[in-house]
Structures are given as C-alpha cells and as structure tokens.
Amino acid sequence: MPTSIEQIQTFLDEYSLNYRVDEEHDAILIGFGLNPESTTFRDVDGDPGIQFVIRVLERGEFLAIFTPQAWNVEDCPHRAAVFEAIASIQTQYKMLRFDYDPSDGEIRPNVELPLEDSELTSRQFHRLMHGMLHGVPRFDRVIRHAIERGEVSFAGLDDEEPTGAPPPRIARLQRLAEEAGGIEALERLACGGDEPEAESPATESRDAVGDDGSAAPQDHSAPTALQPSVPPAKPTIQRLWDHLFGSSDRGPGTDRKAG
C-alpha cells in the first residue's frame, strides 16, 4: 500500500510536531532545536538546530529523510579524510548514510526506506526520524574534525546507539505518566490516592521547548524523544527550500500543526 504525504503528517501529528509541507513536491520540512552543550552540530546560520526534509517518492513506494546542507567540503583540502570518516560512520551506525554532491561540495546525511507494496507504520517512521535526530548531531564532531584537521578520530565518542520504539503498551504508559505528572503521580491515581499537587515548571532548555513555550518529551530512548520545534521563521528555511526545489513566490510550503 503506497504511503502519502498526508500519512506522514498524521505520524508527525501523533507527537504534536510542527512542520512545513509542500504538497507539490510531496515534501515536509521539520526543524528541531539542539542542546549546544551536547553537540557541535550547527545549521547553515551557525545556530544549534537541525532541519530534516521528508520526501515521499516513486508514487508513494519510497521514503527518504535527509538533512540538506549539513556539511560542505567544496573548499576543503581534506576531503579524503572526510570521505573516510563518513564511510567509517556507516559501518558503525545503522541506517545512516551520506550523499555527496561534487557540483557544490554538499554532504547530505540521510535514511531511505523502499516501501514498494508494504504499508509504512508509525513505529517504522519514527524509528527513522529518531535515527537521524540521534546520529547526525552525534557524529558531527567526527566529520568536523576531519574537515578541519584532515584526521579521522572517534575519540571521546560514546558507544550509545538509539534504541527502537518501545512496545505500544509501554509507550502508552509513558504518555499517561507524562500527562499525570510523573510515574509516582500515575501510581497514586491508579491506586485511588489523592490527586498530585501541582509541581513547579521544569527548567527550560533550548532543545526541549518549542517556539510556543510548550515543553517537549525528554525520553531519549524512544521516538518520543523527538523534540518539537517550529522551523525558525528566518532565511535559513527559505534558502534550504530554494536550494532543494527552486525559488517560489509561495515560500516553503504551508505551516501545519497538530490540533
């Protein structure tokens, strides 16, 4: 069963993620804030954020997720080291792959899934998204080191791999616990105890708070760790869109939000 851009929107809406959609190109652009203290990755404007383009290709039989303009080696004298680094990363990290455009030096990390006649599930989709959101910032220091120094080094890189999505019942319990105010609060409710007292708001962080001020999930072991953030309304988004699909008076598609 071919997938569609509308189905992808449904998967994103499950976690109240904000995004931009271009139905003409069957593409979605979504942005996430990153903790500047935990990763060296920066977008094309130098900000601690990352953008993903989600594309439905081949009449719904192929899905691709990639980060445009993640790195550029057009003027880099150490391209051999960079290519060795990304080849090594591909042997260590499931799913994550890299494309290189020799015309402008762009290196684009991506995950791809040939669906053919299979039906895409929510768990499959969020596994792909989680793999990108974890892998790209994690290996940025390796690629950046190769670009700047011509050396391939994985020193200081942890061996952590992202786990898959939890079973549906566990994921539901996690969501219920978040809504109740934590595991202890959920236990009190389940046992017929008093309603938990209101707790003070958690300290905000750049990677956990969207533009609307709402807190994002913090579980990094499952797709719920995706940290929603509206793609910033700045030239970065427009430049990425123009780079991918050409200039358009309509701008980069339509803003969508779960609701």
Asked, for residue 89, whether it belongs to a domain, the answer is yes
Asked, for residue 174, whether it belongs to a domain, the answer is no
CATH of the domain at 238: 3.30.1460.70
Asked, for residue 190, whether it belongs to a domain, the answer is no
What distance in Å separates the CA atoms of residue 207 and residue 139, rounded to the nearest whole number?
18
Domains in the chain: how many in total?
1
Local confidence band at 23 (pLDDT 50, 70, 90 cut-offs): confident
Local confidence band at 189 (pLDDT 50, 70, 90 cut-offs): low
Asked, for residue 56, whether it belongs to a domain, the answer is yes
Asked, for residue 165, whether it belongs to a domain, the answer is no
Asked, for residue 168, whether it belongs to a domain, the answer is no
Cα–Cα distances (Å) from 27 to 30, 52, 64, 176, in that order, read 10, 10, 10, 32
Least confident of 15-24, 155-164, 214-223, 243-252: 214-223
pLDDT over 70 (residue 58): yes
* Structural domain for 105, as ranges: 5-158+206-256
Asked, for residue 225, whether it belongs to a domain, the answer is yes
Cα–Cα distances (Å) from 16 to 11, 12, 163, 252, 258, in that order, read 9, 7, 21, 20, 5
List pLDDT tens digits, range 124-183: 999 999 999 999 999 999 999 999 999 999 988 865 554 445 555 555 655 666 666 665
Asked, for residue 186, whether it belongs to a domain, the answer is no
